């Protein structure tokens, strides 16, 4: 059952001025998403300040990169981004890079709003998602994605994370 959201939600393009807030949300969502996959010690190394610095440059990329933030009552609670495929063997021309949403807002429809903002309806694309992230797998399945059999293990915060590729 989807939770009701009784607040003012705005989904809009990311601005350079959002970098600090997105850095904080990014760090928090990594803790919430990967706490069962990555050690606490590794997650404690995540710096909201460093992620904010990265977001300052990411927010000013070219028009082929689409990045949106979700705000509830003026506070950033999530973000999403898509752009040109980054893999040499990419099955589609575009890739969904990320959708992160604070746990408190799961089930409210904000994740879907973010997805819709960065992915035009019916657009073919692909993404990589942690193999052991059932909530994300269910979300992507509802949005027409299926696993294509590709899998890799990537370095993540000094450890490793196994991801599977989904396409639509």
Mean pLDDT across the chain: 90
Place 2 in a pLDDT band, splitting at 50, 70 and 90: very low
Q: What is the arithmetic mean of pLDDT over 117-122? A: 91
Q: Is the pLDDT of residue 134 over 50?
A: yes
- The full set of domain ranges for the chain reads 9-167
Q: Which residues contact 107 (CB under 8 A, 6 or more apart)?
A: 1, 2, 3
pLDDT in tens, 61-107: 778 899 999 999 999 999 999 999 999 999 999 999 999 999 999 99
pLDDT for residue 6: 53
Nearest residue to 135 via CA among 162, 158, 104, 107: 107
CATH superfamily of the 9-167 domain: Gcn5-related N-acetyltransferase (GNAT) (3.40.630.30)
What are φ and ψ of residue 30, in 5° steps? -65, -40
Q: How far apart are the C-alpha atoms of 80 and 99, rounded to whole Å? A: 4
Cβ-contact 97, 81 below 8 angstroms = yes
């Amino acid at each position: 059952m989807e939770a009701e959201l009784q607040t003012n939600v705005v989904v809009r393009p990311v601005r350079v001025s959002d970098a600090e807030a997105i850095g904080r949300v990014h760090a928090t969502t990594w803790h919430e998403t990967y706490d069962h996959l990555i050690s606490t010690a590794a997650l404690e190394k995540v710096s909201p300040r460093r992620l904010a610095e990265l977001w300052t440059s990411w927010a000013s990329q070219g028009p082929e990169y689409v990045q949106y933030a979700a705000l509830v009552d003026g506070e950033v609670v999530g973000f999403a981004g898509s752009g040109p495929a980054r893999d040499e063997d990419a099955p589609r021309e575009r890739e969904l890079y990320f959708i992160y949403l604070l746990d408190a807002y799961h089930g409210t429809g904000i994740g879907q709003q973010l997805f819709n903002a960065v992915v035009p309806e019916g657009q073919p694309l692909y993404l990589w998602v942690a193999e052991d992230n059932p909530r994300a797998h269910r979300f992507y399945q509802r949005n027409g994605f299926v696993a294509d059999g590709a899998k890799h293990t990537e370095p993540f915060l000094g450890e490793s994370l196994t991801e599977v590729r989904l396409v639509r």
